Amino acid sequence: MKITSISVYQVELPLEHPYRLSGGRLLFERLDSTFVRIDTDAGITGWGEGCPWGSTYLPAFPGGIRAAIGNELAPAVLGQDPRRLDVLNAAMDTALPGHGYAKSAIDVACWDILGKSTGLPVCELLGGDTGENVTVQSSIGTGTPEAMVADILRHHEMGYRVHSPKIGSDVGEDAARIRAIAAGLPEGDSVTFDANRAMLPDQAIRLMAQTADVDAYFEQPCETYEECLQVRRATTQPIILDESIVDFADLVRAHSDQACEAIGLKIGRVGGLTKARRMRDFCVQTGIRMNIEATGGTVLADTVAVHLAQATPTRFRRATWLCHEMLTDDPCDGGARNLSGFTKAPDLPGFGVEPKREALGDPVAVYS
């Protein structure tokens, strides 16, 4: 089997509500997503999606995906067998070192082809369906303590039991948010306070010291790995590293330094499902828990993450965020949907989700 063509689509994804993170300093109202269709000489088609959550969240931007595919990656993978995932990723890494977010959609589309060619859901190819549903976590934007508690309670009524409120604006304000959320959190629910890199080490240390009696995770308090490590060594609460984990070497370093108790394993950020699977296996072997998620995008991107989570032993999973629930439009059929706070990978060949062609429009580029 050989790749014969790569079609690239640009899709605008408006959010239902303006969304603030990183202490409110980053505001998002819509996303720019790139869909990739890969066709083969066997008549099997695979779909992938790349959506780096705008241009201000990470060292990545939507136009970079499309430019990288056209200028560097498409020539490297055309004619390759899409089922030989390690060989294909090596070819992309040779053609363009780094830029994992630009390679992810191609890698994911090839996994879709592999699943369809074998007649198996992708989770079966990633170690096997555990049979356990995947926990979905809510994402609570930065706001007043009262508004954030109300949002958590609203999500609890929808079935969510794990919540991720955004903090990082001011130590005093964040302490008030944490206290209010801890007091109002329904019994049995769990919470992660996510700063998305907004704090300086002294701020994070002070905040965590003031709220040391609250049972919670704290996620990516500071911009750099070194700053987060400084916080880890001065505090006691479990820490999740998210934006600092970009590749396998970052994960090995974090384990060696005992820098965290869990990671955010974002499929797009680490370069696709092939590389995310390797990192998942390392976490399972070394006792690191994971939030396995998409960076952003539609139910297609979310479903890819759910397949990997579905094939991961339950005790190593924390929760999975479904970005597509924040969108006004749904340009795909099928996929992993929210089932009252849980989700499950579709029991269909490949990922079990197909974009609606009328929603995508015409491709912005085709390479063959």
Nearest to 147 by CA among 327, 284, 20: 20
Alpha helix positions (H), the chain:
62-68, 74-77, 85-95, 100-118, 122-125, 145-157, 171-184, 201-210, 225-234, 248-257, 267-270, 273-286, 299-310, 357-360
Catalytic residue among 2, 103, 116, 166: 166
Q: Answer yes or no: 166 catalytic.
A: yes
The CA distance from 35 to 8, in Å, is 6
Q: What angle do CA 350, 295, 179 make, to 5 degrees?
A: 130
State which H helix or E strand residue 342 sits in.
strand 342-343
Secondary structure (3-state) at 86:
helix
The CA distance from 345 to 126, in Å, is 12
Catalytic residue among 103, 116, 266, 344: 266
Got the DSSP string for 33-67?
A: EEEEEEEETTS-EEEEEE--STTTSSS--HHHHHH
Task: Indicate if the alpha-carbon torsion angle 21, 255, 250, 247 is positive or negative.
Answer: negative
Tokens representing 117 are: 């060619």
- What's phi and psi for 323, nearest 5 deg? -60, -35
The CA distance from 161 to 342, in Å, is 9
Q: Answer yes or no: 266 catalytic.
A: yes
The CA distances from residue 167 to 25, 31, 64, 142, in Å, are 10, 22, 29, 6
DSSP state of 186: P
Nearest to 197 by CA among 213, 180, 218: 218
- What's phi and psi for 294, nearest 5 deg? -85, 155
CB 104 within 8 A of CB 272: yes
Tokens representing 192 are: 């992660």
Residue numbers annotated as active site: 166, 266
